[in-house]
Structure 1
Amino acid sequence: MADAMEARPPSAVQKTTFTVLGICCSSEIKLIDRILNHLEGIENVSVNVLAKTATVVHDPAKAPASRIGLMFHRLKPVSALNGAHLNAGIKESGRVQIESRPWPSASVVASGALLLVALCSYVFPPLIWIALLSVTVGVLDMLRRAVAALRRCVLDINVLMVAGQSASISFEGSVTVSNDDDDAVFGAIGLGDYLEAASIVFLFTLAEWLEAKSTNKARVSLESLLNLAPQTAVIAETGETVHVKDIMINTIVVTVAVAEDSAVARMVKLVEDAQNRRSNMEEFIEQFAKYYTPGVFLVAAGTAIIPWILGVHPLRQWIYLALVLLVIACPCALVISTPVAKACGLSAAAKMGLIFKGGNYLEALAKVKAMAFDKTGTLTEGAFEVVEVQCWEPNANIGQFLHWISSLENMSSHPMARALVEYARVRGVKPSSEVRNFNLIPGGIAGFVDDCYVKIGNAEVALSNGWLRENELRDNEAGITISYVGMVDRCIGYFCLGDQLREEAARAVQELKKQQIHVIVLTGDSKAAAEHVQKQIGENVQVEAGLSPEGKMKKIAELKETWGLTAMVGDGINDAPALTESDVGVAMGISGSALATETANVALMSNDLRRIPEAVELARSSLRKIYQNVAMSLAVKLLFFGLAFGGLPSLWAAVVADMGTCLLVIFNSMHLLHKYGGRESSTSSSQVPQEQSINVDEFSEPLLSSERRDQDEEAPCLCCKGRSSQRER
């Protein structure tokens, strides 16, 4: 692997993900950026607070990672991050890093125990000095991080907390006692706010542990996906003896990919990549936070300095107010309000069998006003059955006719093609391996079979080529797809195929209608076939028939102009242009083509259409959680600003409010996991067999023979000029 990486051209970039388990607050994103971006060869840094990872895009020539395994502790990014006490390391490919800390650290427990002892100073005053010991025990890690942040001119939560504790210890206090008879003022000589400083340290470190424990619960949902991955495959060469526990007769296990290339690992990678992508709301909040913290810090500094310059007394009151403002200057809860809800939503969607390629698509799906569905293979099962074959060629029998059809169709991975090839095979007809100049035409396919140029297509192909007149076309029947076969200037026959509507299709469409979403069916099939589907799913659904891939794309553009945000659900290569044109493209991951899944923004990892309205519901809930989190965060900040200038809150109360809001935001977001994460068991087993959900590569086209795969790679793709064999019917 090292040689492969070193052989890459100098201009190539490499992506490496690091675990940064020491992240305790979103304000440390800037610190990590400052640490890594000054290293030579680093091009981009993306930090995921919830997942506690930093993804680095770097030039391997200047910042090589070829010896990551051997030089783990000496790798520059790791060393630099650990220099700031951020507990960094290389993230294992395809694995979710879970920090298992069922109990607070020893320093947190010790700090809390010493604080309890110090509280007894109300009975025995000398014990107040124990509070200083409590601060010393608990503040060390915080102090190290604060120093690292200040060295890079970054104001993070550690700097603010250390400043608050230092001031609490440094400034002396006074107590005023009064009654109805006389006034007396007693000075508390030489006493600093040691108890409050100790309270700040303990409450902050305890809240930090609670926050880490809560975020781990959100991240652990991804671990359940990894449990699907097979463990180990043993390669037994000829003559090699392998010791096994059991032998199962007539059972063959085929290993088709290494663990990091498995469908499960790629599912996890897609979700992690989606979490790393910033949504529009997230970017806005982060931009706001960049100005919020320095702004509040300046207000706090002014609150302490201006009264001192003006000689306003008591000065201690203004300094104390400045400290409270320092504590609430950290926008932790506000900054994580969006990513934590987004991450929980993405994880819940993954457990439901929906892989979003970015949090922005989750937000967009929540606002979708129109949704278009492809018919064949999406609303219908795509399990075609040949119901009629007619040969009109006088010099050919039905066997020769099937040979021409199956040879040309063998170049395609369309469900119709597979049904026709199988129909011919059962009748003893084998497709020719010599098919030349195979190409896609509007509404069909064409190519040379045994030196005969054959075209197969819909009614439009038959009419445009002059094979038949309108009144000579076969009568359309409900639910039947008719394709015509021609040579040069004549039609030599036709065939009819039937397809069944998915059992859950009507229910899924009507659920979308209840969600106030305009639903439209786009198909290249005949009007009669489209109207037959319309009758089954609901007369209130719009249908558009006879559309080419470009026609579907134009229809999506019209929907966007008329309705606003538009989603498209499809499964074939011919759906790729429409999926790309839509605001949110949803691909059928199991039955769909690789290109459809690649161009789509969301992959449905089953054929259960009920997941679509559930995805809309989840997206809307996630967006509501984001709004709720932002509102709670801002409300608490504004409330404490008002209370602070009213002289009411104390420092420890500000710490509790600040960290408590973080926890509240996390728990509120985790409700998405509890509400939607348990829906994975409701997937219809009849539609997604257990072995398929584990072993089938959902991101590739349906399984073909090696011969057909090789041929498919030679077929030109209409929409991307790549190589494919799908066509529009």
Structure 2
Amino acid sequence: MEGRDGKEVQKFQKSYFDVLGLCCSSEVSLVENLLKSLDGVKDFSIIVTTKTVIVVHDNLLISQLQIVKALNKARLEANVREYGVKNYQNKWPSPYVVVCGALLLLSFLKYVYRPFGWLAPLGAVAVGIGPIVLRAVAALLNLSIDINMLVVIAVAGSIALKDYWESGTIVFLFTIAKWLESRASHKATASMSLLVNVVPLRVVLADTGEEINVDEVELNTILAVKAGEIIPLDGVVVQGNCDVDEKILTGESFPVSKQKDSIVWASTINLNGYISIKTTAVAQDCVVARMAKLVEEAQNNKSKIQRFIDKIAKYYTPVIVAISSTLALVPVVSKIHNKTEWYRLALIVLVSGCPCALVLSTPIAMLCGLSKAAKLGLLFKGEEYLEALAKIKIMAFDKTGTITRGEFVVTDFKSLLDDVSLNTLLYWVSSIESKSSHPMATALIDFARARLIEAKPDKVEKIENFPGEGIRGEIEGNEIYVGNRKISSRAGCTAVPMLQGDSREGKSVGYIFLGSSPAGIFSLSDVCRTGSKEALNELTLMGIKTVMLTGDSYAAANYAQDQLGGALDVIHAELLPEDKARIIKELQKKGPTAMIGDGVNDAPALATANIGISMGVSGSALATETGHVVLMSNDISRIPKAARISREVLRKVIQNAVIAITTKAAILVLAIAGHPSVLAAVLADVGTCLLVIFNSMLLLAKPRQGKTCKNTNDCSSCTNKPCPNIESQNKCEAQTCSSKKCVPRCRSTDLSSRSCENKKRYNFAENEELLCNLLNEEEVIDHQCCDKVAQHLESQGMHNQSAHLSRGDENKCANSAPITNNYITDGGINKAKRYDHGNHSTTTCKSALKSLGSDDYIIPENHYLKKECCDGQYGCTLTGGLSEIVTE
């Protein structure tokens, strides 16, 4: 449908309403009946914990204000939620509650003037019961029973029994407790609202300097963001560079460097520098806004426990009302003289008929868990997935881009055709790979660009992606296939060329075919993410089995396993997407299984697993859409944290249910035992609700500082200082003591994972800035992070942490060392003779590494001499082409 200006008018609209009168599940049926009676309402969701109603409606038939008006007829205190503002009006008790409490205090003057004993409590009832009666009448008109109706009956019964003070106290305690409950509930649910509320409401246009409202900004608008300001909308940097604090969004504690073409998100903070950004989303569609909505709407996908409790609650209240009515009729039918006690018992049972605390026991804990996970950059798409993660026994990981960084570097590229030059082949391959989102494609494009070869995507035709195999395309009349070994069958080639040595070194080997003829071959290297090893070890400590599922070769998979120190339990390699899904089904026979992945190849496995966790920042759109949980950062150390949160939530749910059921049962037992009190029943009902909320809020409390073991073999002596010495860290990492076991806590720092965002490194010799991949991706060191000190992981040699000695130091090697036959000249890797250390009697580590540009420049394997070279004491590394001695 089109409007007058020719633009399409959106027929259906999703609107959010804050309904402050939505106290507990008993009002849900009231809201349902109201919304069902409205023309134009297509669908709706009611979220009790956040007092939110989400309505999908035809905005041509019914407006937001009309929906608000309908809800407020039932005294539900509804209003339309504006972007970035969650309305909360109950910061203080209402004047009626204050007056009600004052009148109750006045009743104690009955010893001075006796009528105060009944006048003051009745006055308190008259002042405070109005809103309760109105909501009770609205519920009655909609044929539903809620807590308001039960309280009105309890108050009327107490007055009939001449318990005036008790009737006034019931009204006061109920109203003040509901206010406290709303405050506590608001505090429990406010953490996600802060994400949106932190976004500035005014923005500055870069071209004119004019300030406008954030909700007036359209797509592709250029905005100015100064140092110290919060980035208002999602966008792409078009000018300038800066460091950005993304902690609020991804949970990443280290600043991230941004430059031209970098993606930035709303709510993150520009720490330094001036940038101009081009918006890629309007205010309501920013990642941070969608995060908040996703966490809130996730409660619609209820957990199994919640669905079970809802079924109980559905029949609980009618059964209790029937029992209460029966108790009230007993003295009438049996002609018992002590009718008062029976009526009082009936009232107590009736007040116990509202299952508010029991119904709240699950969703409030789930919401706190969802909010806590979101702060760590983990978004659950439903409560059921939070519950399911707590029961996971097996976790399967993709390799490329999940366990490893997915930041490939091309280490070798050869043309196999005499009539096709290397540059021509690179031009074809980079142009075709520009149509792919695979990390290997980026590496090939960068490799071509470094040789001044620009890809031309517009020249490519008939693109076909083969998940788990590669890509096919036509360019300038040539049919090109690029991919792993499996792509050869697509090309119709049976003789697949080989690259000697690369498979043994764990590199990924790729193949290029011109039609059915082998045209080229290349290899790429990748390294494991910082924290991967520790995350896998932590999952093992939690009793979760870890599995690798990769389409890469077994050599590459085993190389990654070596980098991880054998942390994975099982490895499956050379898999197609359907193979991953099949293995997931086999694993599910052994226990609930989760899958963690980031690409199109992982989508079938993510959908098949009990829980699919997709990498939101680096992952493909399909993987993010398919996953049940989205990891906003690339840090898989968040995975064990998510598992721990889910287990904590499940424990809280069980605790809350026990508290709710035990309290109700205790009141009934006391009443039957001869200690009936309607006041105690009301207090127990609202008090239990508060107790359940406060218990759930403990999930949001900040954890206490962990204690770190001085001795890695003994958890009995601990200190609050993490990593007390380098030796204990090098042995097995510093550990955190708990009541049951030691858990890994400290990790060595890999500066290369968080530095050099602008693809530059520091040359200590000439103070020049060189490309990061000039030598090797493992050797990225930022001059801002490293003052002639390199820190590197075990995967990059045998040194967990090392400190440079002076350049003049010479340390003799004791044993033979594995030396490669590669050397570097002008940034290129060429062949040279193997250096013979002999018995190392006089040869030093320093002399084994000659200056850059020498005709016989030798580098150790992976740019590091292994421990064996120097008898476990010394090793050598390169920084900007110069050799330095390092020691543990």
**Fold match (TM-score > 0.5):** yes
Task: Supply the distance in 1 between the matched residues of 2:441 and 2:7 (Cα, whole angstroms).
Answer: 42
Q: Give yes or no for the alignment of 1:252 onto 2:278.
A: no
Task: Supply the distance in 1 between the matched residues of 2:225 and 2:356 (Cα, whole angstroms).
Answer: 54
CA contact 1:446–1:453 (8 Å) conserved in 2:
yes
CA contact 1:463–1:469 (8 Å) conserved in 2:
no
SS in 2 for 1:533: helix
Deviations 1:176-197 (A, max 9, x none): xxxxxxxxxxxxxxxx111000
Task: Supply the distance in 2 between the matched residues of 1:470 and 1:487 (Cα, whole angstroms).
Answer: 13
Task: Supply the distance in 2 between the matched residues of 1:376 and 1:411 (Cα, whole angstroms).
Answer: 19
Residue number in structure 1 paired with 2:606: 579
Residue number in structure 2 paired with 1:522: 549
Q: Give yes or no for the alignment of 1:201 onto 2:171.
A: yes
Q: Which has more strand, going by share of residues?
A: 2
Name which of 485, 505, 514 aligns with 1:459. Answer: 485
Identical counterparts, % of pairs: 43
Q: Give yes or no for the alignment of 1:307 onto 2:307.
A: no
Segment drifting more, 619-628 vs 442-451: 442-451
SS in 1 for 2:96: helix
Match runs of 1:26-175 below 5 Å: 26-60=25-59, 63-65=61-63, 68=64, 72=65, 75=66, 77-93=67-83, 95=84, 97-122=86-111, 124-128=113-117, 129-171=119-161
Residue number in structure 2 paired with 1:390: 414
CA contact 2:667–2:680 (8 Å) conserved in 1:
no
CA contact 1:37–1:45 (8 Å) conserved in 2:
no
Q: CA deviation at 1:277?
A: 2.9
Segment drifting more, 478-487 vs 664-673: 478-487
Q: CA deviation at 1:423?
A: 0.9
Q: CA deviation at 1:58?
A: 3.2
Q: CA deviation at 1:41?
A: 3.2
CA contact 1:455–1:486 (8 Å) conserved in 2:
yes
Segment drifting more, 437-446 vs 606-615: 437-446
Q: CA deviation at 1:465?
A: 5.0
Task: Supply the distance in 2 between the matched residues of 1:586 and 1:676 (Cα, whole angstroms).
Answer: 25
Residue number in structure 2 paired with 1:229: 199
One-letter identity of the residue aligned with 1:487: L
Deviations 1:26-56 (A, max 9, x none): 2111111122222223343321111111122
CA contact 2:42–2:57 (8 Å) conserved in 1:
yes
Task: Supply the distance in 2 between the matched residues of 1:666 and 1:626 (Cα, whole angstroms).
Answer: 11
Segment drifting more, 150-159 vs 1-10: 1-10
One-letter identity of the residue aligned with 1:91: R
Q: CA deviation at 1:471?
A: 8.4
Q: Give yes or no for the alignment of 1:271 onto 2:295.
A: yes
Task: Supply the distance in 2 between the matched residues of 1:594 and 1:123 (Cα, whole angstroms).
Answer: 76
Name which of 447, 450, 458 aligns with 2:476. Answer: 450
Residue number in structure 2 paired with 1:564: 591
Task: Supply the distance in 1 between the matched residues of 2:599 and 2:12 (Cα, whole angstroms).
Answer: 32
| Alpha-carbon RMSD | 2.9
Residue number in structure 2 paired with 1:340: 364
Q: CA deviation at 1:656?
A: 1.3
Q: CA deviation at 1:278?
A: 2.2
Residue number in structure 2 paired with 1:611: 638
CA contact 1:573–1:595 (8 Å) conserved in 2:
yes
Provide structure 2 residue ranges, at least 5 long, that are not aligned to the other structure: 213-223, 228-238, 241-273, 707-745, 759-888
Task: Supply the distance in 2 between the matched residues of 1:505 and 1:619 (Cα, whole angstroms).
Answer: 20
Judging changes above 3 Å, is the alpha-carbon distance between structure 1 residues 676 and 623 closer, same or farther for their aligned structure 2 residues? farther
TM normalised by structure 1 equals 0.85
Residue number in structure 1 paired with 2:699: 672
Residue number in structure 2 paired with 1:633: 660
CA contact 1:618–1:676 (8 Å) conserved in 2:
no
Task: Supply the distance in 1 between the matched residues of 2:576 and 2:349 (Cα, whole angstroms).
Answer: 62
One-letter identity of the residue aligned with 1:263: V
Q: CA deviation at 1:137?
A: 0.8
SS in 1 for 2:341: helix
TM normalised by structure 2 equals 0.70
Task: Supply the distance in 1 between the matched residues of 2:306 and 2:111 (Cα, whole angstroms).
Answer: 47
Q: CA deviation at 1:258?
A: 1.8
Judging changes above 3 Å, is the alpha-carbon distance between structure 1 residues 5 and 152 closer, same or farther for their aligned structure 2 residues? farther
CA contact 1:146–1:158 (8 Å) conserved in 2:
yes
One-letter identity of the residue aligned with 2:52: T
SS in 1 for 2:361: helix
SS in 2 for 1:383: coil
Q: CA deviation at 1:678?
A: 11
Task: Supply the distance in 2 between the matched residues of 1:634 and 1:247 (Cα, whole angstroms).
Answer: 55
Judging changes above 3 Å, is the alpha-carbon distance between structure 1 residues 44 and 460 closer, same or farther for their aligned structure 2 residues? closer
Q: CA deviation at 1:231?
A: 3.9
Match runs of 1:538-557 below 5 Å: 538-539=565-566, 540-557=568-585
SS in 2 for 1:99: coil
CA contact 1:233–1:255 (8 Å) conserved in 2:
no
Q: CA deviation at 1:212?
A: 0.6
Segment drifting more, 111-120 vs 498-507: 111-120
Q: CA deviation at 1:386?
A: 0.9
Q: CA deviation at 1:591?
A: 1.1
SS in 2 for 1:459: coil
Residue number in structure 2 paired with 1:716: none
CA contact 1:307–1:318 (8 Å) conserved in 2:
yes
One-letter identity of the residue aligned with 1:555: I
Judging changes above 3 Å, is the alpha-carbon distance between structure 1 residues 667 and 246 closer, same or farther for their aligned structure 2 residues? closer
Task: Supply the distance in 2 between the matched residues of 1:477 and 1:295 (Cα, whole angstroms).
Answer: 71
Residue number in structure 2 paired with 1:364: 388
One-letter identity of the residue aligned with 1:501: C
One-letter identity of the residue aligned with 1:444: G
Task: Supply the distance in 1 between the matched residues of 2:226 and 2:87 (Cα, whole angstroms).
Answer: 36
SS in 1 for 2:587: helix
State the aligned residue count: 655
Q: CA deviation at 1:98?
A: 4.5
- Greater relative contact order, per chain length (Cα 8 Å cut-off, separation 6+): 1
One-letter identity of the residue aligned with 1:283: R
